[in-house]
Amino acid sequence: MIATGNPDVKTARRPREGGRRFPLHWIGAFPFLLYVGLFLLLPTVIVIVGAFAGKDGPTLSNITELNQEFVLNAFVASLLVSTASAVVGAVAGALLAYAVATGNPRGVLRRVVTSACGVLAQFGGVTLAFAFIATIGSVGFVTLWLQDRGLNIYAHGVWLTELPGLVLVYTYFQIPLMVLVFLPALDGIRPQWREATESLGGGTWHYWRYVAGPLLAPAFLGATLLLFANAFSAYATAAALISQGNPIVPIAISNFLTSETGRANPGLAQALALGMVVIVAIVMTTYALLQRRTSRWLR
């Protein structure tokens, strides 16, 4: 502690490191910043600038081209799939998290479930699509098993490669992610709150409606938004699973990016990508705001 007796005493100021010269120790961070600049920030700038760039100077034509039926359909399909899988994943994940949270906090079950969720939340892509094709594809294990018992899940066509199938497959990584994100919020609920409700004459319904529900609501909504962004950004699983007919946004982008389809249009791909970035940015900002509210009560 420095004595702060007389404020008028002037001590010689410590010479600043390096004086006015360029501070040398900044060079230490330079390689990393250069790398991130080249491979993370530059691509982002390319997308944003490219969305507004035409053959000769800035243009809005890429953005106005978004106003086509199939582009809008892709966005609607993406939003539907993401919302459905986020809601299903959030509800099922919250139930699973509650089942875990009410158990022994140091028990084997909890450790196994959280470890498994850590792994499964990262699972996705071609392998996941194939797992579901092997399970409920037209000759999948479960499909055949049900067929032997007189149940045909594909009586109205193979929906696994359509949007409903995508929702089902996405829940496979959405539920574990929900468990991981929501479990800490459930742990923040104290048994004393329930006891307090009961001592005031409230039952289970009152507890969930007036105490636990409102406390958990921001965390639940926030987690649902995170799941939404998660599903909205996913590409590989859909690319491996979905039939060509009804693309979601990431697949539409890939169609415009690679010239295989003969209609390569990088400008439009960049405009679509910008659209995705805007939506994800809105969702993640709301998520951050909700997180702040959650941490007020549950920590």
Partner 1 sequence: MTRARRLRLRVFRTIVLVLGGAFFLVPIGAMFEFSTRGNHVGAPRTLDAWTTIVTYPDLLGAIRDSLGLAAITSVAMVVLLLPTMIWVRLRLPRLKRTIEFLCLLPLTIPAIVLVVGLSPVYRWMAINLVDTIFLLSFAYVILVLPFAYRALDAGLSAIDVKTLSEAARSLGAGWGTVMFRVIAPNMSSALLNACLLSVALVLGEFTFANLLSYLNLQVEIFQLGLANAGTSIAVSVASLMFAFILLVILAFFGRVRARVAPERAGLPFPGAAGGGLR
Interaction of residue 180 with partner 1, rule CB under 8 A: yes
List binders of partner 1 among 46-105 (CB under 8 A). Answer: 46-47, 50, 92, 95-96, 98-99, 102-103
Instruction: Return the number of the residue (215 or 274) whose C-beta is nearest partner 1.
Output: 274
Nearest-CA neighbor of 141 among 128, 131, 150? Answer: 131
List binders of partner 1 among 2-21 (CB under 8 A). Answer: none
Which residue in 35, 70, 193, 210 binds partner 1 (CB under 8 A)?
35
Interaction of residue 107 with partner 1, rule CB under 8 A: no
Instruction: Return the number of the residue (4 or 244) whose C-beta is nearest partner 1.
Output: 244
Which residue in 76, 109, 282, 289 binds partner 1 (CB under 8 A)?
109
> Residue 140: which residues within 8 A CB-CB, separation 6 or more?
132, 133, 134
Contacts 24+ apart (CB under 8 A), 131-139: 131/172, 132/160, 132/165, 132/168, 132/169, 132/172, 132/241, 133/160, 133/241, 136/160, 136/168
Give the C-alpha separation, 71 to 248, whole Å: 9
Nearest-CA neighbor of 256 among 82, 68, 125, 85? Answer: 68
Burial 106-142 (b: 16+ CB within 10 A, else e): eeeeeeebeeebeebbeebbeebbeebbeebbeebee
Smallest gap from Cβ 63 to partner 1, in A, equals: 15
Interaction of residue 226 with partner 1, rule CB under 8 A: yes
- For residue 74, give both structure tokens: 């892709």
Smallest gap from Cβ 42 to partner 1, in A, equals: 7
Instruction: Return the number of the residue (7 or 74) whose C-beta is nearest partner 1.
Output: 74
**Binding segment toward partner 1, per CB under 8 A, in 4-12, 59-67, 110-118, 150-158:** 110-118
Q: Tokens 């986020």 — which residue?
A: 86
Which residue in 197, 250, 290, 294 binds partner 1 (CB under 8 A)?
250
Number of residues interacting with partner 1: please give it, by CB under 8 A. 83
DSSP strands (E only) in the chain: 53-54, 57-58
Of how many residues is the chain composed? 299
List binders of partner 1 among 268-297 (CB under 8 A). Answer: 269-270, 273, 276-277, 280-281, 284
Smallest gap from Cβ 154 to partner 1, in A, equals: 16
Instruction: Return the number of the residue (98 or 154) whose C-beta is nearest partner 1.
Output: 98
Instruction: Return the number of the residue (76 or 99) whose C-beta is nearest partner 1.
Output: 99
List binders of partner 1 among 120-179 (CB under 8 A). Answer: 120-128, 130-135, 140-142, 172-173, 175-177
Give the C-alpha separation, 13 to 266, whole Å: 57
